[in-house]
Amino acid sequence: MKKLVTFMIAAVFSLSAKAAFITFDANDISPYGGLQADTGGFNIFDGGNGLEVFGNYWVDLDLTNFLPIDGSILSFEFMTTNVGEVHGIGFDDDDVLGPGGSGFGFQVGGTQSWGMADYKQTLVANTWYSFEIDLSVYDMSSFDRMVFIADSDRSKDTDSFFRNVSFELPQTVQSNAINAPTTLGLFSMMLIGVALITRRKI
């Protein structure tokens, strides 16, 4: 009985969060940055839960179905089998890279420097890393695409694996978020369930 109550209380708090999980679809992904997508390509794995970018390749993902992302927490896991020059993730509203472009990115690893280095790791091949980036400190209102990077201009043989990519929106309800019942509603359901179970034992 005690275990059941504990489980139901945990469910109240876990389901009250609002989160949008990305399911990757090839129709929403395009090469990005012109020459930055010169060799390689991408694969979707784990039923859409993960994206592999390989060679010397950058892609962008249409975020139309996930907007707005202002004030959200971006979470994802990353792994590479062969450390390249730049591994990272970014945001943009066009396909223009570098000077003259409006986007920005976060580097998670690699032998060269690019973008914001606050989350850069000394990567070990075949090791998954977890990242959580608070996007509320940036103006995300103009971005409509997300960029995934596997950069290796010289050897063209690196890869970047991304999985469990999500936006947590604690104050914003959007069409792709998990619209969980309210905490009060779940608590009421919990009390009813406990009462019914107790009544059966009498």
Tell me: the pLDDT tens digits for 40-67? Answer: 999 999 999 999 999 999 999 999 887 7
User: Are the C-beta atoms of residues 168 and 16 closer than 8 Å to each other?
Assistant: no
Mean pLDDT of the chain: 81
- pLDDT(36) > 90: no
DSSP assigned state of 180? P
Range in 115-129, 143-157, 176-190 with the lowest mean pLDDT: 176-190
Tell me: the pLDDT tens digits for 112-148? Answer: 999 999 999 999 999 999 999 999 999 888 899 999 9
pTM for this one?
0.76
Question: What pLDDT sits at residue 169?
Answer: 77
Residue 162 CB: number of other CB atoms within 10 A? 25
Question: What pLDDT sits at residue 170?
Answer: 67
User: Are the C-beta atoms of residues 70 and 136 closer than 8 Å to each other?
Assistant: yes
Element of type H or E holding 189: helix 183-201
Q: Which long-range contacts (CB under 8 A, 24 or more apart) does 21-25 make?
A: 21/164, 21/165, 21/166, 21/178, 22/61, 22/66, 22/165, 22/166, 22/167, 23/47, 23/48, 23/49, 24/48, 24/49, 24/50, 24/51, 24/61
